[in-house]
Chains A and B, each alone.
Chain A
Amino acid sequence: MIEAVGLTKRYGAKTAVHNLSFRVRPGIVTGFLGPNGSGKSTTMRMILGLDEPTHGHVTIGGLHFRQLANAPRQVGALLDAKAVHGGRSARNHLLCLAQLSGIPAGRVDEVLGVVGLQGVAGKRSKSFSLGMGQRLGIAAALLGDPQVLLFDEPVNGLDPEGILWVRNLMKQLAAEGRTVFVSSHLMSEMALTADHLIVIGRGQLLADMSVQEFIARNSASFARVRTPDGNDGEREKLTAALTAAGGEVHSEPDGAFRVTGLPLPRISDVAHAAQVRLWELSPHHASLEEAYMGMTQGAVDYRATTDPRAGLHVPHVTGEPPTAGRAATGLRPDAHRAGAQQPGQAHPPAAAGAPGPTARDHRDSEDEQR
């Protein structure tokens, strides 16, 4: 059990974490979500006693990290996969960490096997890819067979097979009764891995609830309706009829509608009564990613601006459309169109492996297309 109470960290004038209180319980995977720079890593460092909080405190099993007897046997952490001496071999890196806490050298080879690095154990880690670095960091966290595990962005740089492996490892560790705290900036990944979510933005708590609750609260269902292309009369007729029937109708960039407040059979009946043909009528859920983006929108530190290219860009020479036009058409026009053309394939057999029991059904096609 990790417990933070009123955790605040200031670096000079900048407040990285503000009055953060939460509990991370054993036996489940707790996802720690937030955009880049929202204070996730700072919070993790404070949990590990590396950074001193400005106010408040955080304890593990009721004790401050520095009070723990032989901390590595109780808490394992992956903070930064690149935080290794590139000239040291993977085995030696783990060996010096093992020796710190009196862990026998044989355990090093065990964890190297667990993360699948036994073949490169003697290689200097500077030749490792980011994914291999992540595996080495995870091995370091597992060394002491600890009851509490912290992972900061463990899937960064991993291939799909590696992501699936990490996901299953987290679940397995939690199933063994351990406390597992995983940070990520990817909602889609956390929806598959975590049981509980703690969402922060700009260092402040935005949500602290189970994944099911998060989904129930944040994913409104809607219907996608499309009338035959190039027939504006039918389009307007249906809009009027659906509005009259009590539905809420929003246009989508590709010409379809997004209808809320009416069940699918009712929409079909209304269309039939209005003598409008439908080319598409499909059920959807707003993706968790969208809900998460909406929640953290005000809390994003690093927002991209349109690239004016300092007036250097000459459209007719390169043949590319002007940037302003592209920006105006919406965020992901391609994803919308692709989703419309194959509404029946909203859930391709997830190559990335067994997704979570609850989350998968609630992900919508746009999410999968990305």
Chain B
Amino acid sequence: MAAAQVLQSEWTKIRSVRSTVWTLGLAAVVTSALGGLISVLSRNRFDELSASEQLRFDATYISFAGMGLGQLAMIVFGVLVVSNEYSTGMIRASLAAVPQRGLFLASKITAAALLAFVIGLATSFVTFFLGQALLGPYRASISDPGVLRAVVGGGLYMTLIAVFSMGVAAMLRSPVLALGILMPFFFLISNVLGNVPATKEVGQYLPDQAGTKIMQVVQLPDDAPYGPWGGLAIMAAWVAAALLGGFLTLRRRDA
């Protein structure tokens, strides 16, 4: 069985359901619109900031402020792509056609990840340029040092969040269970753990806390012990672990 065939089939599956358009569309709109809104607010409040705050003002990162909410739609996309197979029972037809379960899962995740990357990257660029336009005099330029890395990193971050969700969904198999765990975790728990001083030591290694680093241009001295790419690597390690768990679950359990 050629991998290209399975990949093509998975692409057909993804493009032929409406949830794909809804979730990815929502991710793009929420991320860019909320980023734009916060950019406008930041521009109007710039003069009220203290001198040190003005010095640390990160125009790029501010335009990505909508990512925290927009990523939730990415999570829904990732969960649905995988757990739809289980909730509908389609998994049995799929695995009867592709008995090599590793190939099946790899193809599904590759197809979904490629789409998430394209949408994520486009969203990231739109978000950046929209945010900078609204920031007016305080804007950053794409040619400034580190900015292009942050913008491309925004696309990578959205992709990795989606793929992480796919791995978790493959482990849990139920969309309700996977969303019930992932949504509150990324919306609330991770932010609390990563920002409360008592837990920050551990919390900064959580996938989203580490991954967000790639979108920062102005690095703060008291910040995490990893750089932008280090942070992304930590996130990628989480993703790899989730995928491995998903693969082992799929291989061992009866469909």
Bound CA–CA A98/B97 (angstroms) = 9
A170 within 8 A of partner (CB): no
Tell me whether chain B's interface is mostly helix, strand or loop, or mixed: helix
Query: Which residue of B9, B18, B89, B92 contacts A100 across the interface (Cβ within 8 Å)?
Result: B9
Bound CA–CA A51/B18 (angstroms) = 31
CB proximity of B126 to chain A, nearest CB, Å: 27
Contacting residues of chain B (1-57) with chain A, CB-CB under 8 angstroms: 1-2, 5-6, 8-10, 12-13, 16-19
Find out whether the CB atom of B5 lies under 8 angstroms from the CB atom of A100: yes
**Chain B contacts of A86 at CB under 8 A?**
88
A80 within 8 A of partner (CB): yes
Known: A85-B84, A99-B5. A80 touches B92 (CB 8 A): yes
Find out whether the CB atom of B9 lies under 8 angstroms from the CB atom of A97: yes
Bound CA–CA A75/B92 (angstroms) = 13
Find out whether the CB atom of A83 lies under 8 angstroms from the CB atom of B96: no
Bound CA–CA A69/B97 (angstroms) = 10
CB proximity of A121 to chain B, nearest CB, Å: 13
Known: A71-B99, A72-B97. A99 touches B8 (CB 8 A): yes
A263 within 8 A of partner (CB): no
**Chain B contacts of A48 at CB under 8 A?**
92, 95-96
**Chain A contacts of B12 at CB under 8 A?**
92, 95-96, 99
Known: A51-B254, A65-B99, A100-B9. A88 touches B16 (CB 8 A): yes
CB proximity of B149 to chain A, nearest CB, Å: 37
Bound CA–CA A70/B97 (angstroms) = 8
A48 to chain B: closest residue by CB: B96
A87 to chain B: closest residue by CB: B17
**Chain A contacts of B95 at CB under 8 A?**
48-50
Bound CA–CA A49/B17 (angstroms) = 28
Bound CA–CA A207/B134 (angstroms) = 78
Find out whether the CB atom of B19 lies under 8 angstroms from the CB atom of A71: no
**Chain A contacts of B18 at CB under 8 A?**
87
Find out whether the CB atom of A79 lies under 8 angstroms from the CB atom of B90: no
Find out whether the CB atom of A88 lies under 8 angstroms from the CB atom of B93: no
CB proximity of B86 to chain A, nearest CB, Å: 10
CB proximity of A186 to chain B, nearest CB, Å: 23
Chain B 89-116, CB-CB to A under 8 Å as 1, else 0, gives: 1101111111110000000000000000
**Chain B contacts of A88 at CB under 8 A?**
13, 16-17
Find out whether the CB atom of B5 lies under 8 angstroms from the CB atom of A85: no
A140 to chain B: closest residue by CB: B93
Known: A50-B254, A96-B16, A101-B1. A83 touches B6 (CB 8 A): no
Name which of B17, B96, B255 has the most chain A CB atoms within 10 A of its CB: B96
Bound CA–CA A125/B147 (angstroms) = 47
Contacting residues of chain A (79-125) with chain B, CB-CB under 8 angstroms: 79-80, 82-89, 92-93, 95-102
B84 to chain A: closest residue by CB: A85
**Chain B contacts of A102 at CB under 8 A?**
1-2, 5
**Chain A contacts of B99 at CB under 8 A?**
49, 65-66, 68, 71
Find out whether the CB atom of A45 lies under 8 angstroms from the CB atom of B254: yes
Find out whether the CB atom of A84 lies under 8 angstroms from the CB atom of B88: yes
Bound CA–CA A49/B9 (angstroms) = 21
**Chain B contacts of A85 at CB under 8 A?**
13, 17, 84, 88, 90
Find out whether the CB atom of B96 lies under 8 angstroms from the CB atom of A71: yes
CB proximity of A157 to chain B, nearest CB, Å: 16
Find out whether the CB atom of A100 lies under 8 angstroms from the CB atom of B6: yes
CB proximity of A202 to chain B, nearest CB, Å: 20
**Chain A contacts of B16 at CB under 8 A?**
88-89, 92-93, 95-96
Contacting residues of chain A (53-86) with chain B, CB-CB under 8 angstroms: 65-66, 68-72, 75, 77, 79-80, 82-86
Find out whether the CB atom of A96 lies under 8 angstroms from the CB atom of B13: yes
Find out whether the CB atom of A80 lies under 8 angstroms from the CB atom of B89: yes
Bound CA–CA A67/B50 (angstroms) = 69
Find out whether the CB atom of B93 lies under 8 angstroms from the CB atom of A97: yes
CB proximity of A201 to chain B, nearest CB, Å: 22
B18 to chain A: closest residue by CB: A87
Query: Which residue of A68, A83, A95 contacts B92 across the interface (Cβ within 8 Å)?
Result: A83
A52 within 8 A of partner (CB): yes
Bound CA–CA A239/B219 (angstroms) = 105
Find out whether the CB atom of A83 lies under 8 angstroms from the CB atom of B93: yes
CB proximity of B95 to chain A, nearest CB, Å: 6
Bound CA–CA A70/B89 (angstroms) = 21
Find out whether the CB atom of A82 lies under 8 angstroms from the CB atom of B96: no
Query: Which residue of A69, A84, A101 contacts B5 across the interface (Cβ within 8 Å)?
Result: A101
Query: Which residue of B2, B88, B93, B98 contacts A79 across the interface (Cβ within 8 Å)?
Result: B93
CB proximity of B77 to chain A, nearest CB, Å: 14
Find out whether the CB atom of A50 lies under 8 angstroms from the CB atom of B92: yes
Bound CA–CA A123/B68 (angstroms) = 37
Name which of B13, B18, B19 has the most chain A CB atoms within 10 A of its CB: B13
Bound CA–CA A266/B10 (angstroms) = 72
A86 to chain B: closest residue by CB: B88
Find out whether the CB atom of A70 lies under 8 angstroms from the CB atom of B96: no
Find out whether the CB atom of B1 lies under 8 angstroms from the CB atom of A70: yes
Query: Which residue of B17, B88, B98, B100 contacts A83 across the interface (Cβ within 8 Å)?
Result: B88
Residues of chain B at the chain A interface (Cβ within 8 Å)? 1-2, 5-6, 8-10, 12-13, 16-19, 84, 88-90, 92-100, 254-255
List 26 interface pairs A-B (beta carbons < 8 Å), by A numbering: A50-B96, A51-B254, A65-B96, A66-B99, A71-B97, A72-B97, A80-B92, A82-B88, A83-B89, A83-B93, A84-B89, A84-B90, A87-B18, A88-B13, A88-B17, A92-B16, A96-B12, A96-B13, A96-B16, A99-B8, A99-B9, A100-B94, A101-B5, A101-B97, A102-B5, A140-B93
Given contacts A85-B84, A85-B88, A95-B16, 8 further A-B contacts (CB under 8 A): A49-B96, A50-B96, A66-B99, A68-B99, A75-B96, A85-B13, A87-B19, A88-B17
Closest 3 CB pairs of A and B: A83-B89, A99-B9, A92-B16
